[in-house]
Amino acid sequence: MLEQLLPPPIAAVERYDDELPVELFPEEEALLANAVPKRKFEFGTARWCAREAMKRLGVEPVAILPGPKREPQWPPELVGSLTHCAGYRAAALALKSDYQTIGIDAEPHGPAPNGVLEAIAIPAEIRRMPGLKVDDPKICWDRLLFSAKESTYKAWYPVTQRWLGFEDADITLNADGTFHSRILLPDTPIAGFHGRWLVQGDVVITAIAVPAC
């Protein structure tokens, strides 16, 4: 899926199960001391994906630990993003010399639970929902919006080191598989992002990749 959304030289690796044995670094194992099996599986497989991506980029695999806002901390020469949901785990990485930031997010493709749309969407986004459902009634646009918000934050934070709430981005979804995130914060160093989305099977995935200046 990711390779349809992200161009080379981005290294995109994905898995649809947790069947591969994964060897974690001791620092990573320590993070999972009290985790339930589901968390251990998704954590491990996502990091397997990331380390496979590192190998493709010629970078020695290392432990991938969370930062202050739970963001993955990459080797200094890399940018990237992780995601996982039921039946899907993925990583997308690139050299900083090629890309400024990457944000990916995967979600189960089904209607969002009651109240989620109202919690994450600004009025302009809600007003656009009926038209999107006419464009393609098979797409769960509320879930897609949530995923696009997540990808936007994942692309935003590593560059700015600033919080971005759901209400701080106005996302325009398009039926052609693209979206645009307009940042609403004052004095923003980034005006917005262009992204792409794809639904395949039971998964919806969104991706943003900003080339290096």
| DSSP conformation letters of 5-52 | HS-TTSEEEEES-S-S--PPPHHHHHHTTT--HHHHHHHHHHHHHHHH
Tokens of residue 206, six digits: 């969104």
Q: Which pLDDT value is given to residue 37?
A: 92
pLDDT bucket at 68, cuts 50 / 70 / 90: confident
As a whole number, the mean pLDDT across the chain is: 96
**165 pLDDT exceeds 90?**
yes
DSSP code of 137?
A: T
**70 pLDDT exceeds 90?**
no
Residues 6 or more apart from 155 whose CB is under 8 A from it? Answer: 81, 101, 102, 103, 193, 208, 209, 210
Where along the chain do the CATH 3.90.470.20 domains lie?
2-99
> Mind listing the pLDDT tens digit for each residue in 194-207?
999 999 999 999 99
pLDDT bucket at 81, cuts 50 / 70 / 90: very high
CATH number for 2-99: choose from 3.40.50.9100, 3.40.50.2000, 3.30.360.10, 3.90.470.20.
Answer: 3.90.470.20
* 69-76 average pLDDT score: 93
Task: Give the integer Cα–Cα distance in Å for 93 and 52.
Answer: 10
DSSP H or E run through 132: helix 123-135
* 83-101 average pLDDT score: 97
Q: Which pLDDT value is given to residue 213?
A: 80
Task: Give the integer Cα–Cα distance in Å for 177 and 179.
Answer: 7
CATH number for 106-211: choose from 1.10.1200, 3.30.70, 1.10.1760, 3.90.470.
Answer: 3.90.470
**109: closest CA among 89, 78, 87?**
87
> Mind listing the pLDDT tens digit for each residue in 18-49?
998 899 999 999 999 999 999 999 999 999 99
